[in-house]
Amino acid sequence: MRRGKPPMRVSVPRRTANGASSALGVCPMIMWVRCPSRCLSMTLTPISAWWLLVLACPVLFAGEALLRRVPALVRCNIPASVTGGLLAAALVLGLQATGLLQISWQTRVTAGWWTWLATPEPEWFSRPAKAVNLPLLVGFFTCVGLAAPLSILRTGGRALVILLGAATAMAVLQNFVGVGLAKVMGAPPLLGVVCGSLTLVGGHGTVLGFASRFEEAGFATAATVGAAAATFGLVASGLLAGPLAESLLRRRGLVVPAVENGGGGPEVARTGVIGELREFFSEPKTAVVHLLLVAVCIKAGSWVSFGLVKLGAAFPAYMGALLVGLAVRAAHDAAGGTWLRTATLVRLGGLLLALFLAVTLTALNLAELTKVAGPMLVILTVNIVMTLAFAAFVVWPLLGRDHEAAVMVAGLVGFGVGSTATAVAAMNAIVRRRGPALRAQAIVPATGGFLIDLTNAPTTTAFLQWLR
């Protein structure tokens, strides 16, 4: 009889030179079950990004289950992707805090078969590391462009101008509030801009784009502080955008039709990701045609984005696909076409968005929020409260105090504090319960997706020059 067991071998995912994973990696929970005592003291290599895709659907199912168990979350229009993603991120944080398991997610991959669709060939041949959820994000914005009829965009012209003007004014206010509070508390004034529109309106991508310029101006920790502030804003937008819109609608006396009494109102459409998939594939030929069209637009859009970058324009990676989608829809409508189905595109976009948020929020490092302390926490909190008040007391009346206005307010808070993705997720949650808001669903993604970048970048630059 052997006295001991042979030493356990633990394989870890291989990593390429740029840090991306080249294999599926190791499932940490399997290792914990097999050898818990060793896991207590080991530090894991970052887990492959592919596991984020594998876990996306289970995370969505967990979010849907939580919504069913806690109806208040449904009434507050919190999306299943947000609840599930934050639940997964909180679970990881809990494991790390207790010392049971150290988990660090990789978020980028180099696999050519996955990155090809959203990458132009001149860049793709070098096998760049791309975010694993990039195709999902670009596909979602492609659906936004394809699902935006010209007639709706034309009739929503006034609302578009109001929303963009309000978002720009809000960005300026965030910076003034941030700089003022920073000076009062004796912190560097540039901290006020980093915790202002740079991160709240701009998000993680804008932080990375401006970090070097802030470092040159003397704020050496701009990238680290900005990442933590953007994470704080992302969580806040996912939790606050929907509840604010719901409170405005209820104060106005606009109740959910036939839902509170168990009737057949819009909430019956809330069937979960499986139900959405069944609806999407209920007409297989139509589903396949729309999937192929979205794929073609994504590929064409990657070249448009490539051209914009070469021209010196700093736009998000999805910009080209969004513009191609808008152009294809405009040509379709101008030619009198009827084969593009908005409902199908909206459903496909919703599925892609849910998967994107599930991946993004699962990989969210909530431990970064521990860096949000002191003056930084004060500035972010005051700015978020100011944004909510600005949306409720200024933008809501300007837009008309109706259902469409509430959906746009939710979108404004979403991309004004977090990201366009969380904005659209909150809007979708409202629409599922209260009925469609076609103008809002066409205008908000366009405003938060790229129009606000045209005003926020100059605003940030102006404050940077002023405080340099």
Least confident of 36-40, 322-326, 345-349, 426-430: 36-40
DSSP state of 15: B
| Per-residue pLDDT band at 12 (split at 50, 70, 90) | very low
| Per-residue pLDDT band at 165 (split at 50, 70, 90) | very high
The whole-number average pLDDT for the span 157-161 is 88
Angle at 99 between CA 93 and CA 104, to 5 degrees: 50
**Which pLDDT value is given to residue 84?**
93
**Which pLDDT value is given to residue 44?**
57
Q: Write down the domain spans for the chain.
A: 50-467
DSSP state of 267: G
| 22-31 long-range contacts, CB within 8 A, separation 24+ | 22/110, 23/48, 24/48, 24/50, 24/51, 25/50, 25/51, 25/106, 27/51, 28/101, 28/103
> Which has more pLDDT, 33 or 391?
391
Tally of residues, the chain:
468
pLDDT digits (tens, 9 = 90+) for 353-382: 899 999 988 988 888 777 677 899 999 999
The pLDDT > 70 percentage for the chain reads 86
Q: CA-to-CA distance for 74 and 4, rounded, in angstroms?
A: 54
Token pair of 19 as six digits = 């840090």
pLDDT digits (tens, 9 = 90+) for 40-95: 444 555 788 999 999 999 999 999 999 999 988 888 888 899 999 999 999 988 88
Contact (Cβ atoms closer than 8 angstroms) between residue 415 and residue 387: no
Question: Cα dihedral sign for 385, 386, 390, 391?
Answer: negative
Mean of the per-residue pLDDT values of the chain: 84
Class level of CATH domain 50-467: mainly alpha
